[in-house]
Amino acid sequence: MLAPKGKNPDEPRAWTDWARTVWASIAKMLGELAPKGLYARALIIIIAPIVLLESVVAFAFMERHWNQVTRRLSEATARDMAAVVDLFQAGAYTDEGRLAELAQTRFGLSLTVMAPGKLPATQPKPFFDLLDRALSEEISTHVKRPFWIDTVGNLRHVEIRVNLDNAILRFTAPRALTYASNSHIFLMWMVGTSVVLLTVAILFLRNQIRPILRLAEAADEFGKGRPIPQDFRPRGAREVRQAAQAFLEMRDRIKHHVEQRTTMLAGVSHDLRTVLTRFKLELALLGSTPEVDALRNDVNEMQHMLEDYLAFAKGDGGEAAAPTNVGELLEEVNEEALHYGTPIEIRMRHPNRDLVLPLKRQAFKRAVTNLVINAARFGDYVVIRAGADKEWLRIEVDDDGPGIPPAERDNVFRPFYRLGNGRNQDMGNTGLGLAIARDIARSHGGDIALGESSMGGLRAIVRVPL
């Protein structure tokens, strides 16, 4: 079907796409401005309906009650003025003083008779001109004479001048007689009740959010391999208690699984090492021949592979976190890697200040040792940098070796994965060193990433939360 002449069939679609783009941009901006915390979002959920309700009530009050009362008061004032004007024009009171006294005692109006002339120039209307508009309409209806009105010159009174043929009558009326001046009481009550409601809501929400924060802190400590706070127990609402109880049960199951695995691996390690020890003793008794030397090398390689496999399966071994001096730990790693013959330099960001934080010392030492040995095997020079900021411990191990291609930097953390380049041709390499290091770093709540070293080789970055 052809589109009507002169119309583009793609225009509605383009308009829809544009509207969607604008809406998506607005939603994204609001999402960025919106608070991220549960406490702040819950407060907004409570505050927004209160503010909306009060706005509707205030609008209804201003539009109906205040407007109606102000018009009734303005109408009464205009009628009183009209009565005084009629008495003056009828000549019922030749004495202006008696007429002014009558206006004051009976109507509450202050009257001054002025000489005939022109009325002052009209003043600009105030921003909130409800009183000015209502009083002007009522005077026009009941007095029916040229007039001038001033509702902003005096805070307590309203001045009205009526131009007659032989005089100008100047009325001064209390502001309370012309419009509803007690609206501030309503506003004070509204604001006061809002403050009370918000205070109660804030106190209640704080008590409800605290168990959730405690649960998050306990989960964070457990994820970093540290003991959860001793005073932690299920608290708060029923759903929060269920989540806390589920977390405690999950923690117990994980600890039981780790203990079982550690016990099993300890037994396997003991039995296999006993057999390997017997092999070594038997080989030592056979003397030195090419065949025996080859078999001895195979046994040594088997022992090395067994140690790697057990270390990978064992992970952190259920070791508890304890305060650890990172500088001393790196010195120990350096001493154990000296037999590779590669120069290793340690650079601390703050050498005069001890860097101490809770770590599973032996496991973390194994992770750093694996990275340093990996760098020492393939590089001629290794630099270890360590420092901490407000949230993270950062250790960098740089070498000047062949490096690892960017596409392979994630793959090398897979167990038993071997590269095809010169960095992974060592026959003694089981392909578990980086996998073990990353598992240990993640058990501390951190991670390991690989990048390009400033020396042209590989840079391994260990990040662990403080």
Q: What is the CATH number of domain 319-465?
A: 3.30.565.10
Lowest-pLDDT range of 90-99, 246-255, 297-306:
297-306
Is the torsion defined by CA of 259, 261, 262, 263 positive or negative? positive
The confidence score (pLDDT) of residue 308 equals 64
Angle at 49 between CA 47 and CA 51, to 5 degrees: 65
Q: Decide which of 2.60.40, 3.40.50, 3.30.450, 3.40.120 is the CATH code for 61-181.
A: 3.30.450
**Comparison of pLDDT for 348 and 260, the residue scoring more:** 348
The token pair that represents 44 in the structure block? 């907004």
Percentage of residues of the chain with pLDDT beyond 70:
80
What pLDDT sits at residue 422? 47
The whole-angstrom separation of Cα 115 and Cα 112 is 10
Q: Which helix (H) or strand (E) holds 451?
A: strand 447-452
The answer on pLDDT for 3 being more than 50 is: no
Comparing CA positions, the residue from 125, 124, 134, 141 lying closest to residue 62 is: 134
- Does the global pTM surpass 0.75? no
Residue 79's CB: how many other CB atoms inside 10 A?
15
Please write the tens of the pLDDT for every residue from 226-252: 777 777 888 877 888 888 888 888 888
Domain boundaries, the chain: 61-181, 210-314, 319-465
Architecture of domain 210-314: Orthogonal Bundle (1.10)
Q: Other CB atoms closer than 10 Å to residue 421's CB: what's the count? A: 13
